[in-house]
């Protein structure tokens, strides 16, 4: 094969294109059982939009229950430094009491800690020429690693800050960060954060991100969640930590007005 040969994924040999990924996802959404699951979620408290509150989402397949309590999640993971600050408030604008925030996301090449045995270029679904036949939304962890995961309590003002690296991408998803708020040790609100497309484009050209050349990155315009009401409010505005030097790192903040799931 030459470098320009076409593969079954519609792009150069060995590269899975956006069109290939979106096509499989549409096959998945067309299944009757999936439509029933979506209807149940949308009818549940977590799936029903609440006026004034940011939208909720699911844990996703790479959640683990026990993560280190820390502000610096990197564990030496290479990547563009990313500093994030959140203010978490209830719908009355008051800080939540006895609350913690947990973040987790993939590394620059699309791998999640705890799941290093999972290929980021493969979907968690089983796809055949006849369509998507199965989806594993709760795969077992493959290892004990916990990099790019962290949890912390809110301070009295409802503020929490994390140091991490800019996430990479994996099959079928735009670049994103998972976030969970617990109150009194119980789940209160779960969702996913997104990053501005201008900085996604900037970052994908940097090492080690540009080493992930076998999977075309989905832009925010292809992310199904970002086409749903309220999810554009989950995009975290970013700016360089050092003015004029974005290659040294980015920083951003977001106020989260939330209610119980």
In a domain, 191, yes or no: yes
In a domain, 7, yes or no: no
Please choose, from the candidates 18, 183, 32, the residue with its C-alpha nearest in 3D space to the C-alpha of residue 94.
183
In a domain, 48, yes or no: yes
Pairing of the two strands 81-89 and 250-257: parallel
In a domain, 125, yes or no: yes
> What per-residue confidence (pLDDT) applies to 125?
63
Tokens matching residue 206: 């940097």
Quick: pLDDT tens for 184-213.
999 999 999 999 999 999 999 999 999 999
Ramachandran region of residue 69, left (φ > 0), alpha (ψ -120 to 50) or beta? Answer: beta
Contacts of 220 (CB under 8 A, 6+ apart): 174, 194, 197, 200, 226, 235
Give the number of domains in the chain: 1
In a domain, 55, yes or no: yes
In terms of pTM, does the model score above 0.75?
Answer: yes
In a domain, 135, yes or no: yes
Residue 130 pLDDT exceeds 60: no
Angle of helix 32-43 versus helix 18-29 axis, rounded to 10: 80
In a domain, 12, yes or no: no
CA angle, residues 150, 158, 148, in degrees to nearest 5: 15
CA atoms within 13 A on the CB side of 63: 18
In a domain, 228, yes or no: yes
Quick: pLDDT tens for 55-94.
999 898 899 989 999 999 999 999 999 999 999 999 999 9
> What per-residue confidence (pLDDT) applies to 30?
78
We report the CATH number of the domain holding residue 150 as 2.60.130.10
* Enclosing domain of residue 58: 18-257
Quick: pLDDT tens for 209-229.
999 999 999 999 999 889 988
CA distances from residue 151 to 7, 19, 65, 70 in whole angstroms, order as listed: 42, 36, 11, 6
């Amino acid at each position: 094969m030459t470098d320009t040969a076409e593969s079954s994924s519609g792009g150069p040999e060995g590269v899975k294109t956006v069109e290939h990924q979106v096509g499989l996802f549409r096959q998945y959404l067309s299944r009757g059982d999936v439509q029933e699951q979506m209807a149940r979620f949308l009818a549940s408290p977590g799936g029903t939009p609440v006026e004034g509150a940011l939208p909720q989402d699911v844990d996703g397949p790479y959640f683990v229950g026990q993560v280190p309590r820390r502000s610096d999640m990197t564990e030496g993971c290479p990547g563009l430094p990313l500093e994030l600050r959140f203010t978490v408030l209830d719908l009355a604008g008051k800080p939540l009491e006895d609350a913690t925030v947990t973040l987790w996301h993939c590394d620059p090449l699309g791998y999640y800690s705890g799941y290093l045995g999972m290929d980021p270029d493969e979907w968690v679904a089983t796809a055949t020429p006849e369509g998507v036949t199965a989806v594993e939304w709760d795969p077992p962890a493959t290892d004990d690693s916990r990099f790019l995961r962290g949890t912390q309590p809110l301070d009295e003002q409802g503020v929490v800050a994390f140091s991490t690296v800019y996430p990479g991408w994996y099959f079928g998803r735009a670049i994103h960060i998972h976030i969970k708020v617990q109150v009194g040790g119980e789940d209160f609100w779960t969702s996913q954060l997104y990053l501005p497309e201008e900085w996604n484009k900037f970052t994908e050209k940097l090492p080690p991100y540009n080493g992930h050349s076998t999977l075309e990155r989905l832009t925010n315009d292809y992310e199904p969640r970002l086409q749903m009401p309220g999810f554009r409010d989950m995009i975290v505005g970013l700016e360089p930590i050092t003015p004029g030097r974005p290659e040294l790192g980015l920083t951003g903040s977001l106020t989260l007005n939330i209610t119980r799931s």
